[in-house]
Chains A and B, each alone.
Chain A
Amino acid sequence: MERNRFDSAVSRYSRRVFTFASYLLGDPGEAEDITQEVLIKLWKSGGKIDPDRLGAWLLTVTRNACTDVLRRRQRTAKVIPIRRAEQPPADCPSPAPNPERAAAGSQLGKRILKALSELSEPARTVVILREIQGLSYREISDVTEINIDTVRVILHRARRRLRDSLKEVQAHVVNG
């Protein structure tokens, strides 16, 4: 890949990759590592990726890398807490934006993030790509390699699960 094409791809897609990894992992530090890894993989691909599929390719690679991280977490049975805005890590020179901080203004937002993190795969991926990143069903199908009808079903069930897990808060919001 030519350097200028690579640089323009980084400018265009790094936000999308970092956002996806941040919500999928719930940890901005790990999302940074994944973003670096994915962008370097793009460079090493040597321009073999179809430019029309570049966005989908990057998200697919990001998802695979995040899946590896999530598997490692499960294997080690270690709970990695979401870093809190009020407790930035000592080695972090400037606190990275993170999902929890973004939702800090709203109790419902916090609960939604928690419910999102409890969704299993591929439901979590589908919800993030559709509702937060605004991808079409076709684009989600390209990224996840799941057919469109199945993507619709997964999203429908995931939305219901989110609603169910938020019923308490909903009742509070509707009544209060």
Chain B
Amino acid sequence: MSSTVEPLCCETALDLIDPLLDNELDGPVAGDLRRHFEACPNCAREAAAAEQVLTELRSLPEFDPPPRVVEHVHHAVDRDSTSHQRPFGGRTRLAWMAAAATLVLALGAVTIGRHQTASNEAEARRAAAEVTYALACVSNITQRANLAVRSEVIDHRVIPVAARGLGRPLQQLSNGISQGASPVTLIEIRNEGNS
């Protein structure tokens, strides 16, 4: 800000107090302002008050948090780290559950597919309905575990094998999964299979 030719009026002087205290005024303007204060006790009083307020504010200390705060944070972080590193904890455990369930279902579905030729149709339909329900559960688990098992294993390995010879229920399930059906939809399919 450059020096003013005209003497400062009180309004301008009051507006310049903050920039003066922030050391943002050029020397000549700061000089004009100081001269104004010498001639104007009201503005000088305002400037003194402003300076004192800022001095008090700027002398207020910063605080370190009490040690217990940082201790609590470290404990919380330690607990969180431990749960992430646990070999069978959290998502790792879900992934193992999903893999195991998928394996069991794959074996079961193949068995049902083979058994169907020797059993009566009612038994086969019931078995298919059970597999459908179980697949819905596995689908849910694999979704929660964010695994690719759902599409790669269930859709391409388990269902085609189990559906072979079983007819409508599993084929319908397969279509439902490939269209991104939710477990709820799959359970509804199961109910339809039972009817």
Binding site for B on A (CB under 8 A): 3, 6-7, 10, 14-19, 22-23, 28, 31-32, 35-36, 39-40, 43-44, 93-94, 96-99, 102-103, 106, 108-109, 112-113, 116, 127, 131-134, 155-156, 159, 162-163, 166-167, 170, 173-174
Which of B52, B63, B73 sits near A36, CB closer than 8 Å? B73
* Distance in Å: Cβ of A99 to nearest Cβ of chain B: 7
Please state if B56 and A15 are interface contacts (CB–CB under 8 Å): no
Question: In the complex, A132→B80 CA distance in Å?
Answer: 34
Chain B residues 29 to 71 lying within 8 A of chain A, measured CB to CB, are 45-46, 48-50, 52-54, 56-66, 68-70
Please state if B60 and A103 are interface contacts (CB–CB under 8 Å): yes
Which of A39, A44, A112 sits near B56, CB closer than 8 Å? A112
Please state if A15 and B65 are interface contacts (CB–CB under 8 Å): yes
Please state if A96 and B66 are interface contacts (CB–CB under 8 Å): yes
Given A14-B64, A103-B60, A131-B58, A159-B53 contact (CB < 8 Å): yes
Please state if A109 and B65 are interface contacts (CB–CB under 8 Å): no
Q: Say whether B100 faces chain A, with CB atoms less than 8 Å apart.
A: no
Q: Say whether B18 faces chain A, with CB atoms less than 8 Å apart.
A: yes
Q: Say whether B77 faces chain A, with CB atoms less than 8 Å apart.
A: yes
Q: Say whether B119 faces chain A, with CB atoms less than 8 Å apart.
A: no
Q: Which applies to chain A's interface (DSSP): helix, strand, loop or mixed?
A: helix
Which of A3, A10, A15, A131 sits near B63, CB closer than 8 Å? A15
Q: Which applies to chain B's interface (DSSP): helix, strand, loop or mixed?
A: helix
Please state if A6 and B57 are interface contacts (CB–CB under 8 Å): no
A-B pairs with lowest CB-CB distance, top 6: A131-B57, A18-B65, A19-B62, A97-B63, A170-B49, A39-B73
Given A43-B80, A159-B18, A127-B50 contact (CB < 8 Å): no
Given A132-B57, A132-B60, A35-B18 contact (CB < 8 Å): no
Please state if B81 and A112 are interface contacts (CB–CB under 8 Å): no
Given A14-B70, A112-B57, A22-B63 contact (CB < 8 Å): yes
Please state if A132 and B70 are interface contacts (CB–CB under 8 Å): no
Q: Output the nearest chain A residue to B78 by Cβ-Cβ distance.
A: A3
Q: Output the nearest chain B residue to A11 by Cβ-Cβ distance.
A: B70
Q: Output the nearest chain B residue to A15 by Cβ-Cβ distance.
A: B64
Question: In the complex, A134→B61 CA distance in Å?
Answer: 11
Question: In the complex, A48→B152 CA distance in Å?
Answer: 31
Question: In the complex, A12→B5 CA distance in Å?
Answer: 49
Besides A36-B73, A40-B76, A97-B61, 7 other CB < 8 A contacts? A14-B70, A109-B60, A112-B60, A131-B54, A133-B62, A159-B54, A170-B49
Q: Output the nearest chain B residue to A113 by Cβ-Cβ distance.
A: B60
Which of A22, A43, A108, A132 sits near B52, CB closer than 8 Å? A108
B residues in contact with A39, CB < 8 Å: 70, 73
Chain B residues 98 to 144 lying within 8 A of chain A, measured CB to CB, are none
Which of A15, A102, A163 sits near B50, CB closer than 8 Å? A163
B residues in contact with A133, CB < 8 Å: 62
A residues in contact with B76, CB < 8 Å: 36, 40, 43
23 residue pairs of the A-B complex, CB under 8 angstroms, read A3-B81, A14-B65, A14-B69, A19-B63, A36-B73, A36-B76, A40-B73, A43-B76, A44-B80, A96-B63, A102-B61, A103-B60, A112-B57, A131-B58, A132-B57, A133-B62, A155-B18, A156-B18, A159-B18, A162-B57, A167-B49, A170-B48, A173-B52
